[in-house]
Amino acid sequence: MKGAWASLFRGLAHSLLASVSMDMGTRWWSSESFVGLRRADLNDLGSHDVVVVGAPMDWGATTRAGARFGPKAIREADYLEADGHRPHLPTGIDPMEVMDVVDAGDIITPPGYLEDGLNAIRSAIAGIAASGAVPIVLGGDHAITYATAGGVADHHGHGTVALVHFDAHADTAEDHFGRLHGHGTPMRRLIEEGSVPGPRFVQIGLRGYWPRPPVVEWMRQQKMRWYFMSDIVDRGLDVVVDEAVGYAADGADHVFVSVDIDVVDPSAAPGTGTPEPGGLTARQLLDTVRRICRDLPIAGCDLVEVSPPYDGPGEITAHLANRTVLEMLNGLAESRLSR
Ligand SMILES: [Mn+2]
C-alpha cells in the first residue's frame, strides 16, 4: 500500500482507535476505580492534584506476560469500602482529604503494537503533567516507563527530572531482541534520548545475574548510580535511601519514581514477569516509597510488572501493589501538608 491509500488507511485506523472507549469493555481493562475514586476523562481532564491511570500493556515482556491485567488487579485488590477515602493509621492522614485525586481509567493500548501503545501512554502522561497533576500510572510491563517518565520529562523539560528506580534489574539493555523497546530497555532509551540523563538515575534493589558486565560498564560511563540488595544488607536500607534521596534531589527540580514490583522478594510478590529471589520485604517497599514521595519533589510515579496470572494465593502481589499506591499518595499528601 502506498501514497493516498496508505494515508487513508492510517486515518481510518486512527479514528477507529480514537472511537474506542472504556465502556466497550475489553476484558482486561478495569471497570472499577482505585479505592472508589471519582472518575475523570483523559480527553477532558480538568484540574486535579493527582491522576491515577492504567497502562494495561504487556507486549514488552520477555517471558512471563500478564501485566496487561495489572491495573485491573491492583484496583480490585481491596476489601474496604469503595468510598474514595483511605485514612492512614500511622500518620492519621487521608490523602484524599488533602488532595484532589481522580482515576482516569485505562489508556488505550492496541494489543501487540508496542510502539503505538508507548506513543499513546506518552501523550496521555504528558497531558496529565501539563494539566498540573501528578500522574500515578498502574502498569503494564516495564517497557511503559520509557513513555511515563519520558512523558513527564516532555512536559517539565528534558534533563530536569530525576528517576528513582526500584527494581531487581537495571533495565538498561542495549536492545530487546534487536528492537528498541521492551521491558529490559526503557532506562537505556530515556538516557539516550536525553529526557532523563544518566546522572539523574538512582536504582535501588538490583541483584541476580543480569545485565552482563559490558552493560554495567555502559551504566558506569553514563554516571548512573545504583544500590545492590547486597549494599542494602551491608549498610542498612535507611542509610542507602538517605544517600539515594540526597543524590536524586541534587539539582533536579522534579523526581519520577518507578517501582518494579519485582524489587520485592518473590515470597511476597510472586506475580511478576521476572522474579528474582532475595529482594526487599513488603514492609520495606511500603515505608521507603512513602518516605521518597514525602521528601522529594515528585512529578510522577509508576508501578509496573504486576502479572496476576502468576500471582500467589490470595492475590498477594496485587494487594501489595494496591498498598504501594496508597503509600505513594500518603507521601504526596504529607509533602503537601509540610509546605
Ligand atoms: Mn523492571
DSSP-derived secondary structure for 232-285: HHHH-HHHHHHHHHHHHHTT-SEEEEEEEGGGB-TTT--SBSS--SS-B-HHHH
CA of 183 to the centre of ligand 1 (A): 6
- For residue 85, the CA-to-ligand 1 centroid distance in Å is 30
How high is the pLDDT of residue 10? Answer: 57
What domains can be seen in the chain, in order of their start residue? 30-338 (3.40.800.10)
Query: CA angle 271-273-274, nearest 5°?
Result: 110
What nine digits make up the cell of 221? 560511563
Rounded to the nearest angstrom, the distance between the alpha carbon of 168 and the centre of ligand 1 is: 7
Predicted confidence pLDDT, tens digits, the chain (339 residues): 445 665 655 555 555 554 444 444 567 777 789 999 999 999 999 999 999 999 999 999 999 999 999 999 999 999 999 999 999 999 999 999 999 999 999 999 999 999 999 999 999 999 999 999 999 999 999 999 999 999 999 999 999 999 999 999 999 999 999 999 999 999 999 999 999 999 999 999 999 999 999 999 999 999 999 999 999 999 999 999 999 989 888 888 999 999 999 999 999 999 999 999 999 999 999 999 999 999 999 999 999 999 999 998 899 999 999 999 999 999 999 999 998
pTM: 0.93
Looking at residue 72, what is its pLDDT? 96
Phi, psi of 166 (to 5 degrees): -95, 125
Q: Are 100 and 49 in contact (CB under 8 A)?
A: yes
State how far the Cα of 309 lies from the Cα of 29, in Å rounded to an integer: 15
Cα–ligand 1 centroid distance for 61 (angstroms): 10
The rounded Å distance from CA 45 to ligand 1 centre is 29
How high is the pLDDT of residue 21? 45
Q: Measured between alpha carbons, how far is residue 124 from residues 44, 87, 154, 192, 288 in Å?
A: 11, 29, 11, 22, 27
Distance 166 CA to ligand 1 centre (A): 8
Kindly give the distance from the C-alpha atom of residue 319 to the centroid of ligand 1, in angstroms, as a whole number: 19
User: Can you tell me the distance from the alpha carbon of 56 to that of 65, in angstroms, rounded to the nearest whole number?
Assistant: 11
Q: Note the pLDDT of residue 123.
A: 97
CA-nearest of 336, 314, 247, 323 to 289 is 323
Calculate how far, in angstroms, residue 49's C-alpha sits from the geometric centre of ligand 1: 27
| pLDDT at residue 251 in the model | 80
